[in-house]
Chain A
């Protein structure tokens, strides 16, 4: 029971049964991320990239790898953006990890908060509104990431979404009949090109959550395990548990879901780009798919 390349004790066993030691696993991980970037043409020479960091394992691994990629291959400019939602028992610790890595890599880290932007932290908003925590949080985070990425004049916004995240999103949209939302998924997101919408790239697209956690641990990016207190009762958590149970029974099921989805994605994008045009919110002028964007609708409820 040794690494397939160097007869050292393995840290990771692939679905195929191939085992990898620490050093070979790190090489495998980095090579696969670079392959994703190249295959889907996620990064070009003149890109200025904002990396969305939360301070968790995915986004810190992403920040480190994009910095390595930029230095080695194309010398793109990087900036990190962190959205502080205001989750008292969770976010302060991850902010410290994000600050530490950004400093080590000499990358500017910009922090924007719900409190400054929407007058209240998420903890307080959730006490007042009977809304799903992940829905409010996700809407505001995407809103702020796009708004500030554009203000920082970047050409791409990179996020740490991994294979598990994508497989979960595909299934969640299927279960709820939100196929149009699925058309916005993929390694590079968006259906319609618009000057106000910054394209989002997902270089960790084919890495599983477990692979990213092991990589982050081996690289020492996160100091202590910490989990969002709102994730336990989320719909995503239910779908995550379902997928993990199926993955044990039928290894490779997450890859199959994502790979089959990618075959149909060009058709979905084509279909919805013909029937949709980008509109702008009548209140904030940010891009949206209706008259008033979802963020502004939540802001109205907070005010009332």
Chain B
């Protein structure tokens, strides 16, 4: 399946191909993003890393770092 994910820290949307039944954690691994440095929304609701992904899910990877 293909997932579009918006990465807030880079202000970019990337399209990633994943195996069926993949989870958020698989997406983060594919993008090489550390799971402790972000939290995720799926269709505008916060979800945990074990959440399963489906085609057309709207994923946002939000940074927990602010600095300052």
Residues of A near any B CB (own CB < 8 A):
1, 9-13, 19, 22, 54, 56-58, 87, 90-91, 94, 208-210, 212-214, 217-218, 222, 225-228, 230-231, 237, 240-241, 244-245, 247-248
Counting contact residues on chain B (CB < 8 A from A), the size range is 20 to 34
* Contacting residues of chain B (42-62) with chain A, CB-CB under 8 angstroms: 45-51, 62
* Contact (A231, B68) CB under 8 Å given A225-B8, A225-B63, A244-B36: yes
User: How many angstroms from the CA of A22 to the CA of B64 in the assembled complex?
Assistant: 17
Chain B window 17-38, contacts with chain A (Cβ cutoff 8 Å), 1 for yes, 0 for no = 0000000000000000011111
Return chain B residues, CB-CB under 8 Å to A19. Answer: 48
Return chain A residues, CB-CB under 8 Å to B50. Answer: 1, 13
Residues of B near any A CB (own CB < 8 A):
8-9, 34-39, 45-51, 62-68
User: How many angstroms from the CA of A80 to the CA of B45 in the assembled complex?
Assistant: 31
A-B contact pairs, 15 of them (CB 8 A): A1-B48, A10-B47, A11-B45, A19-B48, A54-B66, A57-B64, A210-B36, A212-B64, A217-B39, A225-B9, A225-B62, A225-B63, A227-B9, A227-B66, A228-B67
Q: Nearest Cβ distance between residue B32 and chain A, in whole angstroms? A: 11
Chain A: CB-nearest residue to B38: A210
Chain B: CB-nearest residue to A25: B46
When the two chains form the complex, which single residue of A1, A54, A210, A222 contacts B39, counting CB atoms closer than 8 Å? A210
* Residue pair B48, A231 in contact (C-beta under 8 Å): no
Chain B: CB-nearest residue to A222: B66
Apart from A213-B39, A213-B63, 20 more pairs, CB < 8 Å? A10-B47, A11-B45, A12-B46, A22-B46, A56-B66, A56-B67, A90-B68, A91-B68, A209-B64, A210-B36, A212-B64, A225-B9, A225-B66, A230-B67, A240-B65, A241-B34, A244-B36, A244-B37, A245-B34, A248-B35
Return chain B residues, CB-CB under 8 Å to A217. Answer: 39, 46, 62
User: How many angstroms from the CA of A241 to the CA of B48 in the assembled complex?
Assistant: 21
